[in-house]
A = this chain, B = another copy of it.
Amino acid sequence: MRDQFTHAIEDYLKTIYDLSLTHGRASTTQIAEVLNVAPASVTGMIKRLAGAKPPLVEYQKHRGVVLTQDGKIAAIEIIRHHRLLELFLQETLGYSWDEVHAEADRLEHVISEDFEERIARVLGDPTHNPHGDPIPTRDLEIPPHATLCLSHLRPNDRGTIRRVRDTDPELLRFLSDHGIVPPASFTVTGYTPFDGNLTLQINGRDQAVVLGMRITQQIYVERE
């Protein structure tokens, strides 16, 4: 089942999957930004993906792409690798949550199905990675996960941190330094309308912390 795709193709599929979740479609520019390549390179690759033996994306010029069923299956398979690896690196090798992403990004393309299976078993078939992202199951279902964005909460709302959708190590260190890690519980104590800043009081902490929208839009929570 693996080794069908090049590393580059896998990266594109993963990126398109991710962008489609929030935007419905993935545009050339968006993909280019995430993958750090020129837009022209994306156009070229999109044509390959659309022209593959079973097409992996549906492509309409100037309108971006959506994954086909085949493309979606491949993407989820890679995401399972990635998230299992992240948890494995943390649990077995003592990586911190800001370090796991970069290493998993390289390993995800080369591990065998056997390796995947073994770490899944060692970890006890986990459902979420260190960032709280759901780990697709063996049959590629996505486990239930929080979809309520922290940015939508207001003062006096209480809840639990469930997921941090960001891979910037600096930001992740900042957040864990302030106790903002799943499954911390918290109370919103402040909100400034113009800039969207939220003040959070994490349970068991002295200092409250103020977070801008750039951050609160990346954090998903469960309301109490």
With A93-B122, A122-B93 already in contact, the answer to whether A111 and B115 are too (CB < 8 A) is no
**Residue A114 interfacial (CB < 8 Å):** yes
Residues of B within 8 A of A109 (CB): 110
Asked if A110 contacts B99 (CB within 8 A), the reply is no
Nearest Cβ on chain B to A164's Cβ, whole angstroms: 22
**Residue A48 interfacial (CB < 8 Å):** no
Q: Specify the chain B residue showing the minimal Cβ separation from A92.
A: B92
**Residue A138 interfacial (CB < 8 Å):** no
With A99-B114, A114-B99 already in contact, the answer to whether A119 and B107 are too (CB < 8 A) is no
* Tally of chain A residues near chain B (CB < 8 A): 18
A103: which of B95, B102, B103, B112 is its contact (CB, 8 Å)? B112
**Residue A118 interfacial (CB < 8 Å):** yes
A93: which of B94, B95, B115 is its contact (CB, 8 Å)? B115
Residues of B within 8 A of A99 (CB): 114
In Å, the complex CA distance between A211 and B15 comes to 53
In Å, the complex CA distance between A103 and B114 comes to 9
Nearest Cβ on chain B to A125's Cβ, whole angstroms: 15
In Å, the complex CA distance between A102 and B122 comes to 21
Excluding A93-B115, A93-B122, A109-B110, 19 further A-B contacts by CB distance (< 8 Å) are A92-B92, A92-B122, A93-B118, A93-B119, A94-B118, A95-B118, A99-B114, A102-B112, A103-B111, A103-B112, A103-B114, A103-B115, A106-B110, A106-B111, A106-B112, A107-B107, A107-B110, A107-B111, A110-B110
